[in-house]
Amino acid sequence: MPKTKEAEAGPAAPGDAGDLILPVDQQAASLKSKDLLGIEYLDADEIQLILDTAHHFKEISQRPIKKVPTLRGKSVINLFFEPSTRTRTSFEIAAKRLSADTQTISASTSSMVKGETLIDTARNIEAMYPDLLIIRHAFPGAAHMLARTCSAAVINAGDGAHEHPTQALLDALTIRDHKGSIEGLRVVICGDIAHSRVARSNIHCLRKLGATVVVAAPPTLMPCDVEALGVEAFDRLEPALEGADVVMTLRIQLERGGKLSFPSTREYFNLFGLSRDKLALAKDDVIVMHPGPMNRGVEIASDVADGPASVILEQVSNGLAVRMAVLYLLAGVGAAKKNVETAA
Ligand code: MLT
């Protein structure tokens, strides 16, 4: 990736407005809600604001010293009650690059193993005055419950099969980087639609930004009311792929019941795995995405995952920028200004 002017110049002095690297009109911007609970609750302008802010934050990770003082003095607590590599690490690095103090609590090291409820855990954490709580939990609605109980800003890092908003935002940023705009694109999401929070958040996000969203899955992995979300549904992959600009493949969510939905992984791969032959039905400049973790030879062939159309690792890099943007918009200058105005 070519270095920007700012990257060549190196880091600005702490406290310098240049540290924010945001256009002046974006420096005091914020989201309407104190929390980020799902894409369903954002409007298109808020999504664009997050993407534009993330675009500017990307540059920080290209610098030799990858840290700005933007959230100095703010505390961020990661509550991860489900396994995660990318999302947890990405939130931790994002908070650290903005100079926030971070603490991660996982299921096995929390008092929930001793029988404490999530609300009691949250109330005890809130008594230590954190500014931001990031939660991943197996129960849909867990982040909403926390947001109602706590005055800190809450970010949903995945709640069961419900929503995973920062994943959809990083996917949108990656698509925008490659295609210029999301409006009018044909985006195919294939795999375990029924159990996927990534699918749900992406459907909301891409439709709000003007894409046509097509979903493809075996009937056992397709929600019965999926068309109500405004998508076109296929029970075969090939017709869905015709003319696609973007193909997003999803992992089978074994932990949410996905494994009972087809006879064998070999049959699944033959019918729904993204192979080079199937991908040839899409447009020549198609891009291939996967939220990870990826099961090679199940939902995607290795030569597609590592092939020229794949943008899977760019998704991970963009995840960092998106999470920095979300942390900034919920706890930075704009959020503080909004809170003062609300109190007045
Ligand atoms: C998620 O947390 O939902 C992941 O990003 C996707 C997956 O687990 O398959």
3-state secondary structure of 260: helix
pLDDT band, residue 4 (cuts 50/70/90): very low
How far apart, in whole angstroms, are the C-alpha atoms of residue 250 and residue 269?
Answer: 12
Over residues 327-338, the mean pLDDT reads 80
Residue 49 predicted with pLDDT over 70: yes
| pLDDT score of 340 | 64
Residue 343 predicted with pLDDT over 70: no
Residue 286 predicted with pLDDT over 80: yes
| pLDDT score of 19 | 58
Residue 20 predicted with pLDDT over 80: no
pLDDT band, residue 256 (cuts 50/70/90): confident
Residue 32 predicted with pLDDT over 80: yes
Residue 11 predicted with pLDDT over 50: no
Dihedral sign, Cα of residue 122, residue 103, residue 147, residue 253: negative
> Mind listing the pLDDT tens digit for each residue in 212-243?
999 999 999 999 999 999 999 999 999 999 99
For the Cβ of 168 lying below 6 angstroms from any atom of ligand 1, the answer is no
Among protein residues, the one whose CA lies closest to atom 9 of ligand 1:
251
| pLDDT score of 116 | 87
How many angstroms does the Cα of residue 136 sit away from the middle of ligand 1? 11
pLDDT band, residue 18 (cuts 50/70/90): very low
Q: Is 275 exposed, middle or buried (0-12, 13-18, 19+ CB in 10 A)?
A: middle
pTM: 0.91
How far apart, in whole angstroms, are the C-alpha atoms of residue 97 and residue 74?
Answer: 12
Over residues 79-89, the mean pLDDT reads 92
Residue 121 predicted with pLDDT over 90: no
Over residues 62-76, the mean pLDDT reads 94
Residues composing the chain: 344
Residue 344 predicted with pLDDT over 70: no
The minimum-distance atom of ligand 1 relative to the CA of 198 is: 3
| pLDDT score of 254 | 83
With a pLDDT cut of 90, the percent of the chain lying above it is: 77
* Pocket perturbation via mutation, ligand 1, pick of 197, 203, 295 by most ligand atoms within 8 A of CB: 197
pLDDT band, residue 175 (cuts 50/70/90): very high
Residue 15 predicted with pLDDT over 50: no
Q: How far is CA 124 from CA 62, 76, 144, 337, in A?
A: 38, 15, 17, 27
Q: Name the least confident of 15-29, 134-148, 237-251, 273-287.
A: 15-29
Output the six-digit token pair for 338. Answer: 């909004």
For the Cβ of 136 lying below 6 angstroms from any atom of ligand 1, the answer is no
For the Cβ of 170 lying below 6 angstroms from any atom of ligand 1, the answer is no
Residue whose C-alpha is closest to residue 261's, from 194, 199, 203: 194
Q: Are 190 and 232 in contact (CB under 8 A)?
A: no
| pLDDT score of 134 | 97
Mean pLDDT of the chain: 90
> Mind listing the pLDDT tens digit for each residue in 90-110?
999 999 999 999 999 887 777
Query: Is the model more confident about 84 or about 176?
Result: 176
Q: Is 330 exposed, middle or buried (0-12, 13-18, 19+ CB in 10 A)?
A: buried
How far apart, in whole angstroms, are the C-alpha atoms of residue 153 and residue 165?
Answer: 15
| pLDDT score of 338 | 67
For the Cβ of 198 lying below 6 angstroms from any atom of ligand 1, the answer is yes
